[in-house]
Structure 1
């Protein structure tokens, strides 16, 4: 997959998401607790647009009679049937070893002040100048 600039960091505030189309793939980009994550926008259950689902947290393992809530803003719930996935890993909540959503690498890059000039290889072949692109 190639490199694609999606937006400026300030255009996607913490806790928000954006759906983009990159190389004919629908991808959800999420800003979670000052980090960025990207998931394929398709639920593995029946192909629903997963990334338009509710972003929430979940109950955590705890002792009997205790109810711990955590991972706020890290879980996306499929809008069709409620399947839940961890935005940070792409793994499903109910079966993290077998059911997952494709994740993509995301980086925050700063734009350099000096723009590189695109150059091409030039050769002389039997008195002809040839440019290779």
Structure 2
């Protein structure tokens, strides 16, 4: 947990087994919408709003990032299930770092700490 944890609100999302890999769940912390996703056995939480025009990520898809290959008609994905895509304009963000796939230095979304405590998924925001 970060050093400013005393200022963070602890929010129970669900039991760990209630979310399967690829699942998404929205919680409200104060007046902020947060999207929690499960990628394999890891959980991540991001602000549920695209910085471009505010679309809710919960309505977008969670998948890998397409990368080019040398083979024609071949599509490869890196970090399967690791990017959330905006449902409006398909901007994509790494759920672990919050960085945009296309402009990682300048375009990011807010991420939050997620812990598993007593088999519960907890977000600190």
TM-score above 0.5, yes or no: yes
Within 5 A, what are the aligned runs for 1:101-120?
Answer: 101-110=109-118
Matched, 1:2 2:9: yes
Displacement of 1:61 after TM fit? Answer: 6.2
Given candidates 82, 86, 97, the residue that maps to 1:78 is: 86
Given candidates 93, 96, 99, the residue that maps to 1:88 is: 96
Give yes or no for contact 1:39–1:51 (8 Å, CA) kept in 2.
no
> Secondary structure of 1:85's partner?
strand
* Higher share in strand: 2
Structure 1 residue runs of 4 or more that deviate by more than 4 Å after TM superposition: none
- The structure with higher relative contact order (CA 8 Å, sep 6+) is 2
* TM-score using structure 2 length: 0.80
> Secondary structure of 2:26's partner?
strand
Return 5+ residue gaps in structure 2 as ranges.
1-7, 120-125
For 2:64 and 2:106, how far apart are their aligned partners in 1? 21
Q: Could you report, residue by residue, the CA deviation over 1:64-117 in whole angstroms, capped at 9, with x for unpaired residues?
A: x24542211111110111111111111101100000000000000017xxxxxx
- Give the RMSD, CA atoms, in angstroms: 1.6
* TM-score using structure 1 length: 0.75
Return 5+ residue gaps in structure 1 as ranges.
112-133
Displacement of 1:34 after TM fit? Answer: 0.3
Count of aligned pairs: 109
